[in-house]
């Protein structure tokens, strides 16, 4: 989930909950393990996997062809944030980034600059971002470039397919591939923005409770429903779909429906949701355990 924050990494749920998954069943991505059905405080939907954070330890499920389910001992306690990419995983512990899984482009070779002083992490495909306490962005993997504007003063980050977003002084900074206009920031996203999220070839920003979208629209990623234009508190862009969390705890989804990733299940729609995460044809929600049963 990408929510408004200033400080220590991706925001965690106000209280623990249970993970609900829907979308593509391949690689068992939607088969949430029993351990992640309660007590979870953060989660992340990736390309081939799902991650959950519980009692400071990382839980991983889905594909394991690249060892991404082999959570290292260091990530079994003391973790404060997680991020799932395309078969590689990240965790934040004591200000340092831990990484494991696919390493085709050096995604798991954490640079020295990201081993301390980190307050936020993000990944979605084959590159990763870390945000330092100083407001500096670090990038590694398939893309390691960072513009001068993102070397200080940044308060939020999001890694997309082959582009990245950063939030600075309420304005969006975007860099990387612009094949579909995903780094061409619209004028309305240059001020007053409180959160950003990068999809595969599209980008999202949250401003005054409404979602702003630009870039690729081949799967209607930019065709926002009216419900996403106000009262939104959190956003997350997946491969070709989006999720938004409303103030009443309801979830809005739009974009690609290739594997049902935008069809929010009834047991999620009728109960307050604490957290959302969109991956590659995969959607996750963290449900409030105290919510009434669905009928």
What DSSP line would sit under 4-58, residue for residue?
A: --SSSSSPPPSS-BEEEEEE--GGGTT---GGGSSSEEEEEE-SSEEEEEETTEE
CATH number of the CATH domain containing 38 = 2.130.10.30
Asked if residue 270 belongs to a domain, the reply is: yes
- Among 4-18, 185-199, 236-250, where is mean pLDDT lowest? 4-18
User: How far is residue 142's CA from residue 109's CA, in Å, rounded to a whole number?
Assistant: 11
In the predicted model, what is the mean pLDDT of the chain?
93
Phi, psi (rounded to 5 degrees) for 113: -65, -20
User: How far is residue 26's CA from residue 282's CA, in Å, rounded to a whole number?
Assistant: 10
CA distance to 10, 96, 127, 167, 204, per residue, from 117 (Å): 15, 7, 20, 18, 27
CA distance to 52, 74, 80, 93, 241, per residue, from 115 (Å): 22, 13, 14, 9, 32
Question: CB neighbours (10 Å) of residue 175?
Answer: 18
Asked if residue 8 belongs to a domain, the reply is: no
State the total domains in the chain.
1
Asked if residue 136 belongs to a domain, the reply is: yes
Asked if residue 104 belongs to a domain, the reply is: yes
Q: Among 30, 204, 237, 217, which residue's Cα sits nearest to residue 125?
A: 237
Asked if residue 9 belongs to a domain, the reply is: no
CA distance to 104, 174, 175, 293, per residue, from 179 (Å): 23, 13, 11, 45
Asked if residue 11 belongs to a domain, the reply is: no
Residue 6 has pLDDT above 60, yes or no: no
Q: Are 254 and 226 in contact (CB under 8 A)?
A: no
285 three-state secondary structure: strand
- Among 14-18, 99-103, 207-211, 289-293, where is mean pLDDT lowest? 289-293
For residue 217, the enclosing domain spans 18-287
- Vertex 257 angle, CA 37 and 100, to 5°: 50
Q: pLDDT tens across 47-72, in order?
A: 999 999 999 999 999 999 999 999 99
Asked if residue 163 belongs to a domain, the reply is: yes
**What mean pLDDT do residues 12-27 have?**
86
The structure's pTM equals 0.94
Asked if residue 257 belongs to a domain, the reply is: yes
Please tell me the predicted confidence (pLDDT) of residue 26: 93
DSSP category for residue 266: H
């Amino acid at each position: 989930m990408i929510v408004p924050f200033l400080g220590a990494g991706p925001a965690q749920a106000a209280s623990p909950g249970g993970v609900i998954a829907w979308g593509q069943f391949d690689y068992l991505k939607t088969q949430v393990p029993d351990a992640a059905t309660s007590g979870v405080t953060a989660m992340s939907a990736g390309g081939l996997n799902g991650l959950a954070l519980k009692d400071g330890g990382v839980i991983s499920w889905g594909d394991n062809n690249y060892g991404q389910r082999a959570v290292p001992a260091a990530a079994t306690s003391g973790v404060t944030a997680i991020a799932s990419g395309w078969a590689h995983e990240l965790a934040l512990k004591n200000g340092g980034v831990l990484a494991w899984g696919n390493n085709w482009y050096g995604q798991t070779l954490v640079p020295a600059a990201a081993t301390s002083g980190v307050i936020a992490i993000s990944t979605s495909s084959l590159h990763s971002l870390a945000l330092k306490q100083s407001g500096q962005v670090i990038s590694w993997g398939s893309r390691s470039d960072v513009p001068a504007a993102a070397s200080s003063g940044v308060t939020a980050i999001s890694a997309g397919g082959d582009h990245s977003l950063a939030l600075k002084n309420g304005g969006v900074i975007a860099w990387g591939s612009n094949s579909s206009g995903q780094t061409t920031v619209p004028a309305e996203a240059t001020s007053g923005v409180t959160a950003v999220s990068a999809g595969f070839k599209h980008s999202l920003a949250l401003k005054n409770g409404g979602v702003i979208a630009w870039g690729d629209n081949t799967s209607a990623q930019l065709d926002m429903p009216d419900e996403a234009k106000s009262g939104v508190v959190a956003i997350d862009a997946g491969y070709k779909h989006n999720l938004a969390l409303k103030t009443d705890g309801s979830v809005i989804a739009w974009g690609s429906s290739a594997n049902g990733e935008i069809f929010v299940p009834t047991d999620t729609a009728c109960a307050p949701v604490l957290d959302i995460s969109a991956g590659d044809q995969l959607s996750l929600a963290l449900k409030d355990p105290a919510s009434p049963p669905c009928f």
